[in-house]
Structure 1
Amino acid sequence: MKPNLIQQQTLQWKMNQTLLQSIHILQLSSIELTDYINEVVKENPLIEEVNYDYDIQQYRKSHSEDVSIDINRKEETMYDKLKFQLSGVKVPKELKPVVEYGIDSLNDDGYLDIDLETWAEDCRTTVPMAEKALSYIQSLEPTGIGARNLSECISLQLKEMGKDYPFVMDLMEHHLEWVATENVEEIAGYYETTEEIAAEVIDSIKLCHPKPGLLLNTQQPEYIIPEAMIFKENGSWKIKFYKWANPTIKISDMYHNLMGMEKEADSFLKEKYRQVEWLKQAIHYRTNTLEDIITLIVEKQYDYFEHGIMMMKALTLSDIADELDLHVSTISRAINQKYVQTPKGVFPIKYFLPSGVRQKNGKKTASNVIKYLIQEMIDMENKRKPLSDQAIKERLLDEYDIDIARRTVMKYREQLHIPASTKRRKR
């Protein structure tokens, strides 16, 4: 066959250096940004000074009494480790951002912190696609990662062991106290099996880890510093960004003095100058994006800042992305592992973007509000007769007109690290 020269026009998107660096720096916390800039300074002779205006160590000393604030080099997180595993899995290109969003939506214990409908809505995809993305997450190690509740977590681990008992899900959801008290007779009688099998089920469950995310999280405490301060002044809420989140980079006069030297040296200096300019633009992009996001959050959660947790609204990444005309992944990267200081303490920015539970009247109740109410009920309960998950569900409906499933109560209770009623009972 005679070869032919064919001219074909194709549309291709290529990231330039500035965009790549902007995306990378957008994800960094203030501590990581400081470390990154320090590394650039070491190999770029044109940078004369980086002005952070207010030293991080000064901040540490002035807030030494606040136990929620401290500083340390950030360790590799559970999210980092899972995404590294994901890089070795063949995931369809269109599904990868959906999977990564799911990983970012896991709580510290490794459980999925949003429902599939919210996940699909935030990623502008379908529920079946979110389910498929979840299957990829649940294929990662350790087994149990990505579970939506304790029963699913245990079930996934038992399947991995080759011990997939048909009644385990029901046992974990409705009769967990039988497992806790090792009530072999009740399990055998209720599920019409032998006591030997019931005992084997209990022994197998004991081998499972109830919080697989902890196996990936660093055991050392994670220390943090905030990006900004949210405070009230003269009757209005304001935002002040700490200078370390937006440092000023000064170029040495040496650059202008040495320009016009021999070609090789001149080329080197120009390259180092471009590097500084890229870095400045990336820092500027990070600062502006964070400022826009936090400003909008304060606006949307105004009632929370004024009146407290009971006034917090359900707010999603998608809501913020639509308002700012940005992609959801950009918002996710910008707020990941970043914190703000408020009159009530230091909180991750994600705290102000709680998922919501839709009620019969069509309105959504923020998950943080429901968790707060559950915590209050349990704090005030009779310790001799602690409230069951079903009792909490009924009280939420009767007293606050919040209608959620019992399993949702159990999920939120576990996220609050509160044991089941059988473990809370005191004689």
Structure 2
Amino acid sequence: MDFDLTAEQEQLRAAVRALGNRYGHEYFVAKARAGEHTTELWAEAGKLGYLGVNVPGEHGGGGGGITELAIVAEELAAAGCPLLLLVVSPAIAATVIARHGTQQQRERFLPGFADGSLKVAFAITEPEAGSNFHRLGTVARRDGAGWVLSGRKCFISGVDEARYVLVVARIAEEAGPAAKGPGTGTGPAAPRLKPALFVVPTDAAGLTSSKLDMEIVSPENQFLLYLDDVRLPADALVGGPDSGLPALFSGLNPERITVAAMSAGTARYALERAGRYTATRKVWGGRTIGAHQGVAHPLAHAAVQVELARLMVYKAAALYDAGRDVEAGVAANMAKYAATEASALAVDTAIQSLGGNGMTTEYGVATLLGAVRAGRIAPVSREMILNFVAQHVLDQDRSY
């Protein structure tokens, strides 16, 4: 059992930390307040190879895995720059294309993921179905040699920055004859819909978006998407007609792991700010406020929760990179739960320890409140993770 990163991974951590610290939380907040994107940070991270660490080497990437991408996500967040598009584009979209795309799709898209020049959004969530792919209303139907997509999506990140959207839809599966028996007849059964993923250009005819106003300080925006008979060529389908479900799951575990890593990094940032303040702040000529257990113990408790979550993050990443997908699925869900809970606790505790200063923009912790609260909801809610653990770890019956 080895809890240490490799020398190369440690070097990556130090390099990303240095990059993040050159930009910092003030840059992140200023971009968000101005309605701008973190274009400079993203471009430099891409140029240095940090955005493509998990892309295969033959396509220009670093040849690493989700462990390396988790390091990047955590360290940028620990510098006060939690980039959600790291989760969406390199973690989800690049992984799906690398593992399940055709050779032509890998050659077309992966070099752009590798150098950060390509951003791809991910669209699964719908107003009625949430992220339950069994209930998705977005449907793709064949149209000659191509496809036509129709449906709606919500809470889709980064559409205004992306060149493509990886859309989860359902396609009609060829139906066989109905089972014979009294009253069943022998006609064909109704077609069954199964998941499929499509790469849709953001400028495609019929694809429109509407920005959602969010109570989150972030340079990355959320959108409603409308697909009104969006026509696509045959090669827009990722892999083939039977690739949808495995492709979808191959992207969801990296999503949870990198969200967890980003959450852990955000928690570290908040605790570092709070620790620095409480170790130097003195009142009434006495000792620092951090010398009082009423201040120090809540911070120490949060620090313990964050470190436990980080262990789960890198266990999940190691399992995923080892190809142990079933175990990685359990670990990824646990990591996401633990890290987002720890992050919300750390930010709230940091604000409380700073008193009134904790609510100011200057001290840089209250600006994270919306994001860490949203992390307990998306990309999968804490309640659904508890359902998953109850069913798959504790062998309990489904409650829904």
Q: Under a length normalisation based on structure 1, what TM-score does the superposition of the two structures give?
A: 0.27
Q: Under a length normalisation based on structure 2, what TM-score does the superposition of the two structures give?
A: 0.29
Q: Normalized per residue, which structure has more strand?
A: 2
Relative contact order, higher structure (CA 8 A, sep 6+): 1
